[in-house]
Structure 1
Amino acid sequence: MLNKKSTLQACMLALALGILAASPVHAGEPVTLMHVHGLSYSTDGKQLLIPSHHGLAVYSDGHWSKAAGPAHDYMGYSATRDALYSSGHPAPGSGLTNPFGLIKSRDGGKTWQQLGLTGESDFHMLATSYATNAVYVLNHQPNSRMSQAGIYYTLNDGLKWTRAAAKGLGPKLNSLAVHPTNAALVAAGTDDGLYLSRNSAESFERLAGGRRVLAQSFDLDGQHLWFSTHAGKAALARIALKAGAKAEEVPIPALTEDAVAYIAQNPARPAEIAIATFQRSVFLSKDQGRTWTQIAKEGTTHE
C-alpha cells in the first residue's frame, strides 16, 4: 500500500507559446480526491491546493472546489512563493504531448508554461525551494538533458540541469525536500531514515534512523524539518536543524494501513499545518500539530 474550447486559433497560439491553457470549470461539481500527488498553500494562506488525477482541488473557508485550470494529472507537484511546479500527464482530449516533463504556473494553476523535457520524462519525485525556485527531481532514465538516472537540480527553470552524486544516501529514496532559502540544503527520506545534504545533494548524512521516512518538509523559517515515518504504525516528527538536535514526535490521528504522504505549512499562519495521507485523507492543524481536524477521508471531501 505504502509502495503506491477556446477557439482553434487560441489553442494553437497557446501551444506555440508553450502555455497549457485552462479548461472550463463547472460550478457545483463534487470534489473527489482520486489521487493525492502533492500538497501546498497559496502564498496568502487562504487556499490549500491538492493536485489529483483530474486537476487541482482547493480547500478554502471550509469549502472544497475545483481550481480554475486544466484537469491534468499533476505528478511531482511542488510550490514556491511565486509559482507552482509540476510534471505529469495531460488531460484526455487536450491534444498536449505526454508526459509534461517540467511545467510551471505563475497564476495558481490556471495556465502552465512548459519548461522542457516534454514528451520525455514524468518526474513523480520533485521538490522546490520556496524562496529560490530551485527544483530537484529524481530521474529514472536518461533523457535529452540527463545522461543517466539519479537526482538532478536546476536553478534556472530547466535551462541547465546538474546531476548530484548523492553519496552516503540510504536505500530506496522515498522523498525529497529543499530548504526554503538555501537551495543547497536538501533533505531525503529513505527506507532507513532521514538524511540531510548541505552541498546540493552531492553527499548526505543521516539525521534520524531506525524508521522508514516517507515524506519531509522544511519549516518556512528554515529552522526545523518535519518528517513522516512508518514502523508498524504511522508517525510524524519534527527536528531542529542544529547539531545534536533530537526529533520530537508530533501527535497525529490514528491511521489504519496508512501514513502521511505530504506535509505543508501555511505561509500566512505558520502554526497551521496540513497533512495528506496515502489513502487520500487530509487533516488540518492550527496549533502546530497538537490537535487536528479532518477535511477529507479516503478521497471524500468534507465541507
Structure 2
Amino acid sequence: MIDSKTTVTQGVIAVSIVAFSALGWQPLAIAGTAVMASNEARVSTNVKAEAPIELMHIHGLSYSADGKQILIPSHNGIAVYAQGRWSTMAGPKHDYMGFSATRDALYSSGHPAPGSDAVNPFGLIKSNDGGKTWEKLSLEGESDFHTLATSYGTNAIYVFNHQANSRMKAIGIYFTESDGMTWNRIAANGLKTKVNSLAAHPNDAKILAVGAGDGLYLSRDGGNHFEQIIDRKQVLAQWFDLDGKRLWFSNYAGGPALSLIRLTGDARAEQIQIPIDADDAIAYIAQNPIWLKELAIATFKRSVYVSHDQGATWTQIAKAGATL
C-alpha cells in the first residue's frame, strides 16, 4: 500500500498535491490541453510567447473562461497552453498555490516572486483578468492555502487550513461566499481521515467532494455530513462535470486509475482507460467550460494528456515536464 503525505491544494475545479514517498513522487508542474482543431484560428492576446517552457511544480490546472487556454500555475508564474503552443502569462511570476477557476474569476494563494514587495504568504487572492493582475482578499501574511476549491458557477470557495490564523481558530475545512470576508468552519462529520483534495459542485455550493487516503467522500449539506461513496485507497483528485451530473476522480490502488460516478441513479463507478505509467498517477483534472467533452489531466510526474471525447482517447501534450 502506498503511504501518502498531503502537501495540500484544489482542484478544480482544483485538486490537491500529494507526495508519495514510497514511489518517490514529488509535487511537479503540469500543463493543460490542446485546443480543438476547429478553434486553431482563435487568437490569444494576454500571453507572451516563449520557448522552451519546462513544467515544474504542480500547483493547479484550470481552463480559461472562454475555453481557449489551459492555465498552469507553477513556481515561476502561470504557464499557458493554447492553439498548440506554450507561453507564459503576461503577469507577475509569483508562486501560485491552490489555483482554481470560476466562471468570473481566478482564485489562488501562494508566495510572491523574488524581488516582489508583496506580502508573503498571499492568503486568498483573486484575478478578474485571467491572471494578469491580482487583488488581495483575505488573510494576507497569514496563510498559504494549497488545498482550495471553487464552485464554478457560484464563486463559493472551500479551503483546507493547516494552522490557526486570525479568522480560522482551528485546523479544518472552511467555506466562504464573500471572497474571504467571512469564513465558516464545516463540521465534516463522517470524514474519517486526512484530506488529499477538494472539489465543489459547479451549481450547488452545498455539494462538496473530498478525496482522502481511504477513498472518496461526498457531502450534500455544505460539509456538515459526509458519506464515503468510494472506499478505494488514495483518492488523489476529483472534478465535478460542469453540467453537475457526474463526478470524476483519480486514485491509486496498485496502479493509477481514473473513474467517474453519476450523482443520481446508478452510483457504480465507471473506469476510464488512461495512458499513464504504472508508477505515476493523476494529480489534477480539468474540463473545458465551452466544449464540455474536452478534459485535461496532469500527473505527478509531469505528463499531461487531453481528451476531446470525454476520456475515450487521449493525446499527450507534455512528458516528464517537457512540453510537446
TM over 0.5: yes
Q: Deviations over 1:54-98 (max 9, x none)?
A: 111111011110011111111011100010000000000011111
Corresponding residue number in structure 2 for 1:67: 89
| Structure 1 residue 230 corresponds to structure 2 residue 252 | yes
User: Is the 1:35–1:299 contact (alpha carbons within 8 Å) kept by the matching residues of 2?
Assistant: no
CA pair 32-156 structure 1, distance change in 2 beyond 3 A: same
> What is the DSSP-based 3-state SS (H/G/I as helix, E as strand, rest coil) of the residue aligned with 1:269?
coil
User: What amino acid sits opposite 2:53 in the alignment?
Assistant: V
Q: Deviations over 1:219-256 (max 9, x none)?
A: 00000000000001000000000154101001101324
Corresponding residue number in structure 2 for 1:126: 148
User: What amino acid sits opposite 1:203 in the alignment?
Assistant: H
Corresponding residue number in structure 2 for 1:176: 198
Corresponding residue number in structure 2 for 1:141: 163
1:207 is displaced (CA, Å) by: 1.1
> What is the DSSP-based 3-state SS (H/G/I as helix, E as strand, rest coil) of the residue aligned with 1:189?
strand
Moved over 4 A (4+): 24-27
1:272 is displaced (CA, Å) by: 0.5
Q: How does 1:1-303 map to 2 (within 5 A)?
A: 1-2=19-20, 4=26, 27-302=49-324
User: Is the 1:33–1:53 contact (alpha carbons within 8 Å) kept by the matching residues of 2?
Assistant: no
For the aligned residue pairs, the C-alpha RMSD in angstroms reads 1.4
Percent of aligned pairs with the same amino acid: 63
User: What amino acid sits opposite 1:209 in the alignment?
Assistant: D
- Structure 1: where are the runs of 5+ without partners? 5-23
User: What amino acid sits opposite 1:75 in the alignment?
Assistant: M
User: What amino acid sits opposite 2:241 in the alignment?
Assistant: D
User: What amino acid sits opposite 2:134 in the alignment?
Assistant: W
Q: Deviations over 1:138-161 (max 9, x none)?
A: 001110110111000100101110
1:210 is displaced (CA, Å) by: 2.5
User: Is the 2:48–2:89 contact (alpha carbons within 8 Å) kept by the matching residues of 1?
Assistant: no
> RCO greater where, 1 or 2, for CA within 8 Å and sep 6 or more?
2
User: What amino acid sits opposite 1:33 in the alignment?
Assistant: L
Residue correspondences, number = 283
Distance 2:94 2:51 in 1: 16
Distance 1:229 1:274 in 2: 16
User: Is the 1:2–1:258 contact (alpha carbons within 8 Å) kept by the matching residues of 2?
Assistant: no
User: Is the 2:47–2:80 contact (alpha carbons within 8 Å) kept by the matching residues of 1?
Assistant: no
Corresponding residue number in structure 2 for 1:14: none
User: What amino acid sits opposite 1:168 in the alignment?
Assistant: G
Distance 1:115 1:131 in 2: 19
> What is the DSSP-based 3-state SS (H/G/I as helix, E as strand, rest coil) of the residue aligned with 2:261?
strand
Distance 1:27 1:169 in 2: 45
Corresponding residue number in structure 2 for 1:7: none
> What is the DSSP-based 3-state SS (H/G/I as helix, E as strand, rest coil) of the residue aligned with 2:20?
coil
Distance 1:233 1:256 in 2: 5
Corresponding residue number in structure 2 for 1:18: none
Kindly name which structure, 1 or 2, has the bigger radius of gyration based on alpha carbons: 1
